[in-house]
Amino acid sequence: MIKLIYIVILIYFVLGGLGFYLINRHKEPQVARNSYTKFGVYFIIINILFFSIVIDSTVFRYLSGLIIVAGFLELFYLFWKSRFRHPGYFAGSLFVFSVLSVGFYFFSGLNKELILFSFLVLSIFDSFSQITGQLWGHKKIVPDISPNKTLGGLIGGAITALASALLMNKLCNRNVLPLLLIAGGIVVFAFIGDLLASYYKRKYKVKDYSRLIPGHGGFLDRFDSLLAGGAWVAFSIYVLGF
């Protein structure tokens, strides 16, 4: 089953690579090069997280702790860099991030099949919302907060993620309705988490949280949706009993 899932991931990446080629073939060389760098680094990140879950989920828990700590540091770094502007907003953001971090940490302690299912749904949504958004997205959703997010990208990513969730039902081992509620919640929380992270950057007038990850920016630039989506899964399991 795990081998089959990894083959499916590789197929998705081939399709994604084709999509990126279609997107970048008429762009400036530097812009295209940056896009391919982002795609290549994302492939490496996906593999690191995938095998950390599959081989020993304890490793994923350590990585989750690293993401949380790095996220706190990046939030404080932007606050410090702005010379401590908007202290009330910073405190509120810190509270929201703390709540999501607790949920994400509990998520990292779930059984590895559910973690893997959630991670794959979220990764597929994240990837295909970008690809379909750049190919067919015209109507921007929140241009003042995240100008690259389009209605076409949101719909394309959500449909691909939910369809994939149904195909991966053996991992989640749920009836169709709870399965779709978990997967749908992942999509919603991932999208909201991404928006909140983007709004924080806009508040402090920066493009990226840091430059730690080539082509992506900082840890929160890359893992904001994973953190929020994971928090939803933990809430759905521990509180809602899905």
**pTM above 0.85?**
yes
Please determine, for residue 35, whether its predicted confidence score (pLDDT) is greater than 80: no
Backbone angle region of 215, left / alpha / beta, with phi > 0 → left and psi within -120 to 50 → alpha: left
Percentage of the residues of the chain whose pLDDT score is greater than 90: 61
DSSP state at residue 145:
T
Q: Within 10 Å of residue 1's Cβ, how many Cβ atoms?
A: 10
pLDDT 10s digits, 188-237: 999 999 999 999 999 999 999 999 998 889 999 999 999 999 999 999 99
Percentage of the residues of the chain whose pLDDT score is greater than 70: 99
> Which residues on adjacent β-strands are paired with residue 150?
140
pLDDT for 173: 82
Give the span between the Cα atoms of 181 and 144, in whole angstroms: 30
pLDDT 10s digits, 59-112: 999 999 999 999 999 999 999 999 999 999 999 999 999 999 999 999 999 999
pLDDT for 38: 81
